Amino acid sequence: MTNEHTRHRTVAAPHAPSHARTIAPSKAGPAVTATPQTWTGRWVADRAGIALTGSERLPELVGLALRSGNPKRAHLLVSNVLGKHVPQRPSVVHGTGLELGLRVRELLGPRAADRAVVLGYAETATGLGHSVADGLDAPYLHSTRRPVPGMSPLGGFEEEHSHATSHLLLPADPGFLTGDGPLVLVDDEFSTGRTVLNTIRDLHARHPRGHYVVVALVDLRSAADRRRLDEAAAELGARLDLVATASGGVELPEDLPARAERLIAEAAPADVPPTEGAAPLVRVDLDWPAGLPDGGRHGFTVRDRARLDAVLPRLAGQLAEALPAGAERVLVLGFEELMYAPLRLAGALADRLGGDRVRFSTTTRSPVLAVDDPGYAIRTRLAFPAHDDPRDGGSTERYAYNVAPGGDPARRFDAVVLVVDDVADTPALHRGERALLGQLRRVTDQVVLAVLPSHRPVRPLPRPLYGPAFSSYPADEVAWLLKDLSGVALEAPTEEREEAVQNGGAHYAESLPVEYQPSPEYQELFHQALRGSARRIALGVGTVAETLLRERGPGLVLASLARAGTPVGVLIRRWLAFAHGLSVPHYALSIVRGRGIDPVALRYLAAHHRARDVVFVDGWTGKGAITRELADALAGTGFDPDLAVLADPGRCVRTYGTRDDFLIPSACLNSTVSGLVSRTVLRPGLIGPDDFHGAKHYADLAGSDVSAVFLDTVAARFGEVRAAAVEHAERLAADPDRTPDWAGWAAVERISAEYGIDNVNLVKPGVGETTRVLLRRVPWRILARRGAGVDLDHVRLLAAQRGVVVEEVDGLPYTCVGLIHPRYSRGATGGDGRSVVTESKGRKT
């Protein structure tokens, strides 16, 4: 292939003498492709006024088509050698990437090449990137648009002009991209370069490197785009090279969107209509080696490549045995990002069958107009529903192009071998005429289905903690996904913690407040509140439990946010046992504002349960900060971020027992009403990458423990509220006002501005959050809704003990709001110049 390679270099890297491991292309044919007799871009070029310039190889490598549904770019360059939209010899597809990889190795030299890693882009370039890694003999990772339960993305980036933009990086090894060797980024085409620059800047900010190499089949950048790459290299202080098979440009008329819209409207549809009769479907259980990744979604090593090479002949034999006798034209069809394993299987099958009998292509998310004309790149289209439970916000329709023969019987395949992973082997793949298998069976003589095990990285997981060794709750009530830090001194005086947190010297989760020891008067307030609210809490618990059962089914897995959510999780579990005879798992795990949910706990849940069955539970909402934190933390993990709470005064969740702001007695105390467990801790040096977040068990406070009293008192009222709870759940299901409106957050912003507080995290709305302010933080003042009654007796008592004024105000949307001191250091004054008044070691300051 021609060596058209542009170099952008600001920091030179020394090269050692050249040496490379050569990976031979498949025996089925050379790693070249003949130029089609009719250029498959002619139809679009003539009608839309598009022209290719530059290398004579461009028409050999790409055709043209019109996109449907993407106004950002009306045209599509359709690669003839990528194995995505156009069926091609597997030797050509793999060989094209191999040659690019060998050229990169020659560019780098053996010493640098041996330290390189390759990153490919989903979905189109996952197979190309992997083939480049084969030629370079380097480890490989590709981005993905598929969230994987239990795996938190290492990073991500956006694609400038794609129909589906979010890319996730999910390496099994967190250190995969942390080395200092060259990073090779592979995409099918390099048009503006913005997507690659987005990636490089993001990764360089995390782990700077001295050398980046961009690889593409075609380089179509303008002069301005080339200057931008030069400037980026200078900005980063890194060498940036580009290797491409061919280069040139695309000339577009100014009115292209209008022309394309007209052509799409006028074109006769080339979607394949249903026909009578369905070809046989044969399922093949391939002997895929245990632990061998099916691709580069979580990383693919040189050792993995050797294992795959060794088993390919046997796997190809299994596929060959499933084909009909005399099959002369066979298509191996991959699935979206799953390109490399089907490609290698296709190559091995071609070697086994001999001749020129096997082609390879892949299904895609990209919507493209089909026109059955020899001068158009996309002759036919099968459109079918997604079958891998996509949760990334994109379209749920998928496509297979040029699989059906259209008006040319010579293009018909005698058999189609569909290769998917087990995540995609769902009822949506099989059921109905529109399902992919149903459509394939109407355009060929036999369909062979091969399902590969989707690689699930295995990393060691810690074991949960159980009472009574950890917590005073019985072992069957809750499993704590926490690390026991009971022997570590973590407590600090409240004033010291507040000063460190507000000065940026520490995160609140790195230490613990000294456990509040309630006075006899305060303990009596707790018991009074419990007696007065037990029925109300039981009704809220029942409402939440019945709602979850209606909407999520009986296979619930409760995951309470430690620790305020844990008593509520226990009560929901008890309700399900009481009312329905269900015994559901219940875990408690940590979430930390600004740091996210415990990723190791998520991995544990994903390893033991289906992600869609897990329901996250908390006690109440304030302004909604944890609700937002949870949604952000669960993005890209496969878990449902819909939080279930007992009380939602912040109006920021859909599943709640009530939206009233009332006293939940478990908010009155700390560990002594939460199983004697502390707040959770996330501190470097104590919590490693494979540890749960930590907490302490205050066994020495057993004499003051009222955890069981709280649970038993509420559960004793289940019987009398059962019918009402079912009725409330039914009303909630039909309530149009159930959608969160975030009124609480708006109120907090208003209060923050009114009182001169520039940080909304210092405004804690609601009875529960105000109680926490008084117990754990340095309170500045308490705002109470005028006329609030006994729900605030304990707040008034705590405020009096800490010397904090309770200010009654009108129009407050919450029963009360606690304000943390906004400019705290010991001896500091507040936003209005008043001194803070706190209790510290028996004296006022």
Distance CA 490, CA 603 (A): 27
- pLDDT classification of 845: cutoffs 50, 70, 90: very low
- At 392, the amino acid letter reads D
pLDDT at 727: 95
**Distance in angstroms (rounded) separating the CA atoms of residues 104 and 618:** 52
pLDDT interval class at 835 (50, 70, 90): very low
Look up residue 463 and give its DSSP letter. Answer: P
Between 540 and 157, whose confidence is greater?
Answer: 540
Neighbours of 371 (CB within 10 A): 24
Which pLDDT tens digit goes with each residue over 360-404? Answer: 999 999 999 999 999 999 999 999 999 986 655 556 899 999 999
pLDDT of residue 165: 46
The dihedral built from the CA positions of residue 235, 237, 238 and 240, taken in this order, carries a sign that is positive
Indicate if the pLDDT at residue 607 is higher than 80.
Answer: yes
Indicate the pLDDT class of residue 795, thresholds 50, 70 and 90. confident
Phi, psi of 417 (to 5 degrees): -100, 110
The model's confidence at residue 150, banded by pLDDT at 50, 70 and 90, is low
Please count the helices (runs of H) and the strands (runs of E) in the chain.
22, 36
- The pLDDT of residue 392 is 52
Task: Please report which confidence band the pLDDT of residue 27 belongs to, taking 50, 70 and 90 as the band edges.
Answer: very low
CB 418 within 8 A of CB 468: no
pLDDT bracket for residue 78 (50, 70, 90):
very high
Is 772 buried (19+), middle (13-18) or exposed (0-12) by CB count in 10 A?
Answer: buried
To the nearest whole number, what is the mean pLDDT of the chain? Answer: 86
Q: Count CB neighbours of 353 within 10 A.
A: 18
Q: Cα(828)–Cα(836) distance, rounded to whole angstroms?
A: 7
CA distances from 746 to 652, 753, 765 (A): 11, 11, 11
Which carries the bigger pLDDT value, residue 243 or residue 15?
A: 243
Instruction: Tally Cβ neighbours within 10 Å of residue 838.
Output: 22
Share of the chain above pLDDT 90, in %: 56
Q: Are 556 and 615 in contact (CB under 8 A)?
A: yes
Residue 827, pLDDT score: 36
Is residue 272 within 8 Å of 382, Cβ to Cβ?
A: yes
Give the confidence band of 274 by pLDDT, cuts at 50, 70, 90: low
From the list 415, 421, 413, 379, the residue with the least C-alpha distance to 399 is 379
Q: Average pLDDT, stretch 464-468? A: 96
Residue 132 structure tokens: 């480049």
* Model pLDDT, residue 301: 95
Q: What pLDDT score does 505 carry?
A: 55
Q: Check residue 637 and give its pLDDT.
A: 79
pLDDT band at 8 (very low <50, low <70, confident <90, very high): very low
Between 11-20, 368-377, 756-765, the lowest mean confidence (pLDDT) is in 11-20
Both structure tokens of 6: 């542009």
The residue among 186 and 273 whose pLDDT is bigger is 186
What spatial distance separates the first Cα and last Cα of the chain, rounded to whole Å?
A: 79
Q: Using the structure block, give the residue that is written with the tokens 């040096």.
A: 685
Mean pLDDT of 838-842: 32
Residue 46, class by beta-carbon neighbours within 10 Å (0-12 exposed, 13-18 middle, 19+ buried)?
exposed
Rg, the chain, Cα only: 31
Sequence-distant (≥ 6) Cβ neighbours of residue 44 within 8 angstroms: 50, 64, 65, 66, 75, 376
pLDDT digits (tens, 9 = 90+) for 190-230: 888 888 888 898 889 888 999 999 999 999 998 888 888 88
Among the ranges given (29-43, 63-77, 725-739), the one the predictor scored with the smallest mean pLDDT: 29-43
What pLDDT is stored for residue 32 in this prediction?
42
Give residues with Cβ within 8 angstroms of 582, minimum separation 6: 554, 556, 576
pLDDT digits (tens, 9 = 90+) for 105-145: 999 999 999 999 999 999 899 999 999 999 999 999 999 98
Give the model's pLDDT for residue 823. 65
Out of 12-26, 129-143, 510-524, 729-743, which region has the weakest mean confidence (pLDDT)?
A: 12-26
Query: If you average pLDDT over each of 30-34, 127-131, 450-454, 560-564, which comes out highest?
Result: 127-131
**Is residue 703 classed as helix, strand or coil in its secondary structure?**
helix
* Per-residue pLDDT tens digits for 349-362: 999 999 999 999 99
**Could you write out the three-class secondary structure of 556-605?**
CEEEEECCCHHHHHHHHHHHHHHHHCCCCCEEEECEECCCEECHHHHHHH
Nearest-angstrom CA–CA distance, 233 and 256 = 33
What per-residue confidence (pLDDT) applies to 496?
61
More confident residue, 635 or 556: 556
Report the 3 state secondary structure along 141-170.
EECECCCCCCCCCCEEEECCCCCCCEEEEC
Q: What angle do CA 562, 563, 565 make, to 5 degrees?
A: 80
Given pLDDT bands bounded at 50, 70 and 90, which one contains residue 268? low
Beta bridge partners of 51: 251
Query: How far apart, in whole angstroms, are the C-alpha atoms of residue 406 and residue 272?
Result: 8
What is the model's pLDDT at position 834? Answer: 33
Question: In the prediction, which pLDDT does 391 show?
Answer: 57
Q: What is the DSSP letter of 77?
A: E
Cα–Cα distance list, 154 to 423, 634, 658 (Å):
22, 13, 37
Q: What is the pLDDT of residue 813?
A: 82
Distances (CA, A) of 604 to 423, 461, 584, 607, 692: 19, 7, 16, 5, 10
Give the pLDDT mean for 601-626: 90
Check residue 510 and give its pLDDT.
85
Residue 216 CA to residue 340 CA, distance in Å, equals 17
